[in-house]
Amino acid sequence: MKIVAPVVAMMEKKIASSRMLVSLYSGIYNEVVRNEIKLAGITAGDQVLNIGCGGIPFTALLIAKFTGARVWAIDNDQGAVDVARKCIAAQNMDHLISVLMLDGRDPFPHDFDVALVALQAEPKQEILDSLVAKGGSKARLVFRSPRSEVAHQYDSLPVRPLFNRRIDQKQATFDCSVLYANL
15: domain CATH number is: 3.40.50.150
If one counts the domains in the chain, the total is: 1
**Containing domain of residue 61, as a range?**
4-181
Which residues make Cβ contacts (< 8 Å) with residue 147, sequence separation at least 6?
Answer: 171, 172, 173, 174, 175
β strands within the chain, DSSP E: 47-51, 70-75, 97-101, 114-117, 140-146, 165-168, 174-181
Instruction: Give 2-29 pLDDT, tens digit per residue.
Output: 766 677 767 777 777 777 777 777 778 8
Instruction: Give 145-158 pLDDT, tens digit per residue.
Output: 999 999 988 998 87
Give mean pLDDT, residues 29-50: 97
